[in-house]
Amino acid sequence: MKTEKTQKNDDLMSLIQTLVETPGPSGQEHRIRETIKEMVTGLADEIRTDALGNLLCRMGSKQANGKRIMVSAHIDEIGLMVIHVDDNGFARFIPVGGINPLTCLGGRVIFMNGARGVIGAERLEPNTMPKLENLFIDTGATSAADCPVKIGDVCGFDRPMLDLGKRISAKSMDDRIAAVIAIMAMRELAALPAAKRGPNEVWFVFSTQEEVGIRGATTAAYGVDPELGFAIDVTLTGDTPRAYKRPMALGKGACIKVRDSSFIADTRVVDWMINEAKSLGIPYQMEVLDAGGTDGRAIQMTRAGVPAGCISLACRYVHSPSEMVDKDDLNACIKLTAGLVSKEVKL
């Protein structure tokens, strides 16, 4: 017989698996959006979808001592778009988001129309690194006429989630694991008595097209018009053999962002997050990221400017089909997110 703790873990793993295995590259987020919408219906006071396909979920109404807070987790993933199908049925492609050709070789893909394929490469000279233009998708077709995909069709990586005990590996942890954090925080907030949900109006935004330029969160932030906000995303680590030296590592807690290539977090927001982590006894680590960007930039730059930050989850092998996160870090991020939005905020 399963204990309550075991059942909760199984439910969380099922949630993660559903989200990471649902295809949805940038610009093709309709399936993952509808999946998440079903999961959060009944938790939020208002749910709507905007023109760019962002899913916006409002919990609570702003009280006199409260703030309008935006919490953004993007739901798109990196992918590939077909630009040519040759006479033998091989499909050439361009990237949708940041793609490393080395992580593509031999990989499997799934198109939004359900077609599947594998990624092959031309014969290269010895000691030559492949480029994306050297790669192609083989759908098993024998000609252009019977190829199940056409120019403009989009695919994502096709790989099942792997539960490794303390760690989990899957494609599209970036950023579906952040969507998991947001959903779980919504559940925790909804489970609180009304008097303990805080004075804030909280907008949980599941944003689109982050991987191609932080586009969805830009329009969502303009529409929400928050007074405070933060993104939830993954971040690179420096904890593997001969890795680039970075302070973030798996198993050391939630990451509180100081900066990345797209924005510098508001120091008041950073302090707010640190103080909340300390008050809840949540392990945390400081994130200084030398590359990449998040929805935090879109929140910070909207309208006349907004105090913004980011809670990150340390993730190995980002933008590969086997991204890896730590379960304890995941739970720390859920607890921290729920704690931040359920209390009066004083920056």
Residue 100: count of CB within 10 angstroms of its CB: 13
Residue carrying structure tokens 């009280």: 63
Based on its alpha-carbon atoms, the radius of gyration of the chain, rounded to whole angstroms, reads 20
Alpha-carbon gap, residue 232 to 262, rounded angstroms: 14
Backbone angles phi, psi at 108, to 5 degrees: -105, 150
Q: Write the CB contacts of 168 (distance below 8 Å, at least 6 apart in sequence).
A: 13, 16, 161, 162, 324, 325, 327, 330
Cα 187 to the center of its chain, rounded Å: 18
Phi-psi sector, 212: left (phi>0), alpha (psi -120 to 50), beta = alpha
DSSP 206: E
| 77 is known as an active-site residue | no
29, 77, 201, 210: the active-site residue? 210
Cα 202 to Cα 9, 45, 109, 253, 341: the distances in Å are 26, 10, 36, 24, 7
Backbone angles phi, psi at 184, to 5 degrees: -65, -35
Residue carrying structure tokens 């809840």: 280
Q: Which positions are annotated as active-site residues?
A: 210
